[in-house]
Every structure is written in structure tokens, then in C-alpha cells.
Structure 1
Amino acid sequence: MRFLFLTTGSHVTVYAMTALAHAVRNAGHEVLVATNEPLIDAVETVGLPGVSITSASIRRFLATVDSPHEMVVTGRGLGRMAAATLAGLSELAQDWRPDVIVGSSMSYAAGLLAAARDVPFVRHIEYLRIPMAEIDPVAAEELAPELSRRGLGGLPKPDLVVDVSPPSLRSSPAADVHPMRYVATNPQRRLQRWAYTRPPGRSRVLITSGTHHRMLAGRSLRRLAAQLTAVGAEVVIAAPTRVAEEFGATAEDVRIGWIPLDTVAPTCDLAVHHGGATTTMAVIAAGVPQVITPPNTHTRAIADALSNFGAAVTARAPHQADHELADVLAAHSRELLADHRYARQAQALAAELAALPTPADVVRRMETLTATR
């Protein structure tokens, strides 16, 4: 069988769907991942065959937004983006005829293409607290002309919804949702021994703000690291090269650079970050408590869900100077390292994820979809 994966929004959607795409290939099926030009490098990095569907019309659309991340939180933008990709996707589906189409949660073109091809449509909910109930109606309104031309009264309903959220944090425990274990995926690097072993006799704190958000400037990042090493912790800062260069020389108990979270997170006792979906899910899967300083509405929803469960603390500091935020994060970090209740709750969430069906289990479920058509 042929499975066409469609991703939209940010690198998060690519990394979140990678485990399922690899499981499909490992089951002996063919896979293609179709995405927009800004994300094609992520597809290549995780070892999947990728096709860019960026056309002249979608390039014009991308030029109207400040960042691709803007499209993740606006149904109107996502609807426009879906409309702009339909022609390219239809041509792709003529050249490479899919038997099943798997779309990321906000890839509205996936459902439209599946309806046009009369093949099963799988919607992949790739991270926590996506406000689909708010975004879907706006996207449907924006897509009204495309829906009307295809004789559709609304957005096509998926044949299967896959959700990687821990059950305790799921926004809506709908009966038609098929849970799947989250498998952390990210670009890799050659590993040194410290990256997969715990430091003997001391705690380790992971600090990261992903690849797009800047949580702290260099001097304030050093301030946070210094306060953590002062209480005996080793500090690991996962950061792009430009941030590592700005940080400068490190002490023996501070490491900074590109660090694969899937390997390093399980060796840590605490993670301090901005609440990005990929980071959060990787840390949840590792069973590590979190200090989160969320920069926007969606990351605040993620942070609040974890904090309410007792596996994290939310540091709300939108108007504080960087050095003040560093002090707040350091204080929360010391609190969580000293209070083992947070670690117990984090480990409970990790156990929930580990008990969910594997991507291979979900592949077997998807294989049955074509028999019902």
C-alpha cells in the first residue's frame, strides 16, 4: 500500500509524525511525505522521502506572514494555505496514487485530497492542547469555495483520528480517537558518553527554547546556568550554534550545543523550556518534571495542563527583564529539584504514554481502512 503523509505548520508536525511514517515503511508499505519548502529539510533529516509542494501561489501566501508558525494558530491562514496547495497535491496524487492519506492536525488539504481520491483519511493529532474546535470552523469558512466545488458541506471527517497525548492531558477524550504512544524524534548527532549516561552523584538540568523561540539572551542564560550549578547541578543547554557561540566558553559543569533531546532528556532530573510542543512531548516521554515559561496562547495551554497535573510549574513572566526571568526560572528549578512530587507526577505521565498502542499497532489499524470503502 501507499501512504501519503501531509504536514503543515512547523517542524513540530514533521517530527511528531516521523515515528508513524517509519512504522508504515517498516511494515513494508511505501511512504511519501509532502510538505512546504520551509519544512522539507526536516523531512530529509529524519530519513523520510519528501516532496515539496510549494507552488507560486503558496510562496505568495508565505510571503504575507511573518513566520510559518503564524499559520499554526490561525484557521484562516491554514485554510488559505490548504487551498494554495491543492493543485500541487492533486498533481502529486496523479503521479503517485496513494491508498491512504495521513494529515497532520492542521493539514486541511489532506482531508480534501482524500475525499477527491476516495481514499481513507487519517488525522494525526501531534501535540497537546491543539484548539481544533476553534480553528476548524474558521478553516472551513475560508475553504468554503473549495468545499462547494467538491460537493462537500463541510470539512471531510477523518476515517481515523490518532492522538499522541497522554490520556490525563487530552483535551477531549472523544470515543473515536485512537491513542498512540509518542516516540520522540529529532535530528541526530554523533554522541559522546555523557549524552546517554547520568552524571554520578548530582542532578542534571536541561535548558532549551527550541530552534525558533529565544527564551533568554546570552548573559541571562549564563545567569540561569550559574544559579543552577551553584546548587550542584550539571547544566545541559540544547541550543542552535548561534546561541552557543553567543554563550561563549563554558565551565566543566555546563554543556551547550545541538543536543538530541530523545537521548539526553531521560538522563535529566529537570527541564526548563518555553513549552514548545516537540520539547514538551519529548520531556513527558522521558518522565522528567518541567519548568515552563510560555510565550504564547498555545504554549500557555500546554504549560497549564502540565502544571495542573503536578508535573510542571508555569513561570509567567511576559513583562520581566531577561535577568529577572532567569532568577524566576532558577527559583522554580530549585523548588522542583527539592520536591519529588513533581518527578512522581512526571513519571506517571511517562507511564501513561508507554502503555499506549505503538506506531506499529496503529499501522495495523490503518491497513484495515481500505477494506471498508
Structure 2
Amino acid sequence: MVALMGAGTGACPYENNNGFSIISVMKPQRWLFVSAPLWGHLDYGGYLELAVALARRGHRVLWASGPMVQEAVVRRGLPFVPLPSAGWRWLPPLRPELPPAERQQRRRERALDAWLHPEEHARALRALGSWIEAWRPDGIVAEPFAGVAAWAAERYDLPLVVVGFPAGHWPVPRTLEAQEDLRRAQDRLAEVASALGLAGRYWRADPFPQITSPLAHIVFFPAAWFSDLEAIDPQNRFFGGLPRGRAPDLQRGPRPRALITLGSTFTEDPAFFISAARAVQRLGGEPVVVLGRSPFAPGLREAVRRALPDVPLHDWVDYDRIFPTLDLVIHHGGMATTHKALVYGVPQLIVPHAGEQHLQARRAERAGVGRALRPAEATPDRWREAVADLLKEDRYREQARRWAAQMARAGGPEEAADLFEGGLGI
């Protein structure tokens, strides 16, 4: 395997979290960052920030993904490659009249076709491969759903670093329905590998397909957060995250304030926004409803507006400005929102919709920082009971603050960038 970092004498200054100027004496390297074309997949608690930190230290960083996220990456000063395919298939939105249970089942089925489709991965590998041949990176950095990066690392014999999920032995789902989903996913992974003529060296299939690196997994949560893993592999490097300061004009007010969000893209669930906001209102709270900017949720704003004419609706909010003002966040269990809630010590009500969101919900309950509510079981009474419990019981806030302190001690993207400067321990 190609060595990650070489010895060198080139120096580039940067500032650490304390504002002190530091000199890097490592030879600058070329790092190709790859993500699915989804705004939330730029985060994972520090993925984009890690790329920015490396670029600030003098390394060459190039980000490759679909055009939808180009503006967000370029805004941070990074060069961007708009790929015609990043391995992710966009599927038409689900019909709004589907009942919650059927909607959840359809989401699970569609997830496999969205991110693990043979023809789409072949198209993405051709596109990414042309850039690898031209730019010749020293290594590839990928988030967990950027499957094309794993195939490219194998084909071009490049080191791969995964940012987002830890490597380890994940628990096998207990339900027959979930086990059947796993079997379909494992079969699909084998189908993609066969179509590409690759062995899947940077994949593991137990219990579900996931890209993996024998070199390093960088995770912006402390290891204790993943208490459900049966075993954690030694190549994991765990960090946390630091708050970016409290906005002086946005302190917590007399009414409890709750952020309500399904992230940025897969937001086509008006019942979630409506039910959550009504539960907060009935308890005298202020709902902050963030609908995202998704082109795949037609009619969402109109449906929510009809049901909640007195509630302001937002497309986007600055998490670092609003989280210091919150008493609760109600969300789907996305990595970025979960991470930010832990960083700022805000209790969480997680209503998982698909994939690893169910794991995040269980982790939040186990850590004592929140509760989980399944969409199929989310009646008005259960909404109100869960929201009331989280707002009124001090134990959630106290435990969330303990986790915030733990996240701060674990550091963040700058510390993760130090790993690259030191050769990632090899």
C-alpha cells in the first residue's frame, strides 16, 4: 500500500484551536475527498472541516461529488470536481398519501437502489477514475456512502481513509424483515463487485455492506457513543467536537424552544413536522421548523403551512447560532444533527426514518441524552408525552451537558488533521 505521508522540509503555518501559530514540516500531500451529492454528507461532525484544516496547512485538497453540493464546498475555499455521477441514484419522491408504515418500508427498499446500484457505480468509477489518473492523489478520503471511493482506491491501489462511521462488528438486526433487507444488500454488493471486476477489498458485508479502511476510520464521536458495537477495530480514531461560541443576541428565552428538522434532503414527511410542532405548541413552547432545501419534497412547504399557519418555516438555519438557544431538538437521527446536539448539550427526540438513524436513536436513549419514537407509533398522545418528558425532566439536560464536556475533551477536526500530518500512525 502506498505510504500516506512522506518526509519533507516544506513548511506551512496554520492556527490550532487555541489560536497559536504552528508550523507543519510535513511534505504537502494530495488528498482526494469524495462524498455522495447530499448536503448532510459533507458533515458527519467534521468531514468538510477536516478537508479545510488540511488545505489550511498547505496540503492539496480536491473535493469530488455531484454538482448539488458544489456551492457549499467552494464556499469553504476548496477546489471542486463536479462528477456526472458520484454513485448515488436520485429516485422520484414517494407519494404523499402513503401511510407511515408503508412509507418507512418503501424508504428502506429505495435506499439500496439509491446508493448501491451496479450501473451507477460503474458510471461513477469511470468519472472519478479519469480525475485520479490526471491529478494523481496520494490518497482518498471518503464518507460512508461514497462507495465509488472504495472501488477507486482498490482499482488504483491508493490508501483509503473513511470519515464518519467506525469500523467494527455491528449488531445483527433481530427482526426477520431487517434480516431480509441485509441479505438483499449483501447480494447487491456482490453484484456490483462482479460488474466492476473488483474484489471489494475496501468493503465488508457483515452484517451489512459498508466501505472500510484497514488504515484509518476517523469518527467525530467518542468511542463510548458506539456502545452497541460488539467489537471496535483498532484502526478507529475517535474525536468529538467543539462549540463555536454562544451568540450574544440569541440567548435562551422564557419559552422552551425546539428545533424540528429532517435534515436537508430526505424531508418528504409533512406529518413529522406538523405533529412535532403541535406537540411543542401544546406545551407552551416555540417550534423552530426547518424544512430543508430538497428538490425531492414537492408540496412540503404548502402542506406544513396549511396545518401550521402561525409557525415560521425555515429552509435552513445556522446550527452554531441556534443550538445555544435550544431546549430540545426533534430530528431523524442524522449524524450531523446528532453530533451538534451532543456538542451543545441539547436533549434530543429522535424519530428515525431509515438506515443508521435507528442506531442513533438507540444510542441517544442509552446515553441518557434523549428518547426515540418510531414514526409508525407516533400518535398525538405519544408525541406530547415524549416532548413533555424531555422538556421537564432535568436528567436529560444534565446528561447532555456531560456528553458536551466529553465531546470537547475529545477534540475535533484540527486534531484529526494532526493524524494526517503524523502519517496516521504508520
Q: CA deviation at 1:130?
A: 11
**1:45-56 equivalent positions in 2, closer than 5 A:** 46-55=76-85
* Cα deviations by residue, 1:238-296 (Å, 9 ceiling, x for unpaired): 23477666437876xx6542322232112211112222332222212211111122223
Residue 339 (str. 1) matches residue 377 (str. 2): no
TM-aligned CA distance change 1:104 to 1:272, over 3 Å: same
8 Å CA contact 1:204–1:234 kept in 2: the answer is yes
Shift of 1:214: 4.2
2:256 maps to what in 1?
203
Q: Is 1:144 matched with 2:182?
A: no
Alignment of 1:71-150 (within 5 A): 73-74=111-112, 77-78=115-116, 80=118, 81-125=120-164, 138=187, 140-145=189-194, 148=197
Match of 1:179 in 2: 238
The TM-score normalised by the length of structure 1 is: 0.78
Q: Distance in 2 between matches of 1:158 and 1:184?
A: 31
Residue 140 of structure 1: CA displacement?
4.7
Taking a change above 3 Å as real, the CA distance of residues 207 and 148 of structure 1, as seen in their structure-2 partners, is: closer
**What are structure 1's unaligned runs of at least 5 residues?**
186-190
Residue 8 of structure 1 aligns to which amino acid in structure 2? A
- Counterpart CA distance in 2 for 1:175 and 1:274 is 30
Distance 1:47 1:173, change over 3 A: same
Structure 2 gaps, min length 5: 1-28, 95-106, 173-181, 204-212, 294-298
1:127 Cα deviation after fit: 8.8
Q: What fraction of aligned residue pairs are identical, expressed as a percent?
A: 25
* 3-state secondary structure, aligned to 2:376: coil
Specify which structure has the higher proportion of helix. Answer: 1
Change (3 A) 1:121 1:368: farther
CA 1:122–1:137 in structure 2 vs 1: closer, same or farther (change >3 Å)?
A: farther
Matched residue, 1:224: 279
> Is residue 14 from structure 1 mapped to residue 14 from structure 2 by the alignment?
no
SS in 2 for 1:329: helix
CA-to-aligned-CA distance 1:85-116 (integer Å, 9 cap, x gap): 11111111122221221011132322332344
Tell me if the contact between 2:260 and 2:277 (Cα under 8 Å) persists in the aligned partners. Answer: no
Does the aligned pair in 2 maintain the 1:306–1:312 contact within 8 Å? yes
CA contact (8 A) 1:2 1:100 kept: yes
Separation in structure 1 between the aligned mates of residue 158 and residue 424 of structure 2, nearest angstrom: 7
Q: For this pair of structures, how many residues does the alignment match? A: 350
Q: Distance in 1 between matches of 2:167 and 2:419?
A: 23
Task: Give the stretch that moved more between structures: 87-96 or 242-251.
Answer: 242-251
Per-residue CA shift, 1:59-90, capped at 9, x if unaligned? 9x836x44698799439942624332111111
Change (3 A) 1:344 1:271: same
Structure 1 141/167 Cα, relative in aligned 2: closer, same or farther at 3 Å? Answer: same
Q: 1:278 and 1:309 mapped to 2: Cα distance?
A: 17
CA distance in 2, matches of 1:54, 1:67: 21
User: Which residue number corresponds to residue 188 of structure 1?
Assistant: none
Name the Cα RMSD after superposition. Answer: 3.9
The question of 1:235 aligning with 2:287 is answered: yes
Confirm or deny: 8 A CA contact 2:122 2:196 kept in the other structure.
no
Change in CA separation of 1:181 and 1:370 when aligned onto 2, cut-off 3 Å: closer
Residue 9 of structure 1, CA deviation: 6.3
> Which amino acid is the alignment partner of residue 78 of structure 1?
L
Q: Which residue of 1 aligns with 2:360?
A: 302
- Render the CA deviation track for 1:30-77: whole Å, top value 9, x for unaligned: 21111134444543455533212225xx79x836x4469879943994
Relative to structure 1, is the Cα distance of residues 312 and 209 closer, same or farther in structure 2, using a 3 angstrom cutoff? Answer: same
CA distance in 2, matches of 1:225, 1:129: 38
Cα distance in structure 1, aligned partners of 2:166 and 2:322 = 20
TM-score normalized by structure 2? 0.69
- When residues 162 and 127 of structure 1 are mapped into structure 2, their CA distance, relative to the original with a 3 A threshold, is closer
Q: Does the 8 A contact of 1:271 with 1:291 survive in 2?
A: yes
- Whether contact under 8 Å (2:40, 2:263) holds in the other structure is no
- The 5 A counterparts of 1:18-29 are 18-29=48-59
Tell me if the contact between 1:9 and 1:72 (Cα under 8 Å) persists in the aligned partners. Answer: no
Correspondence for 1:167: 223
Q: Is the 8 A contact 2:216 2:424 kept in 1?
A: no
- Given that 2:166 and 2:218 are in contact with CA atoms closer than 8 Å, whether structure 1 keeps it comes out as no
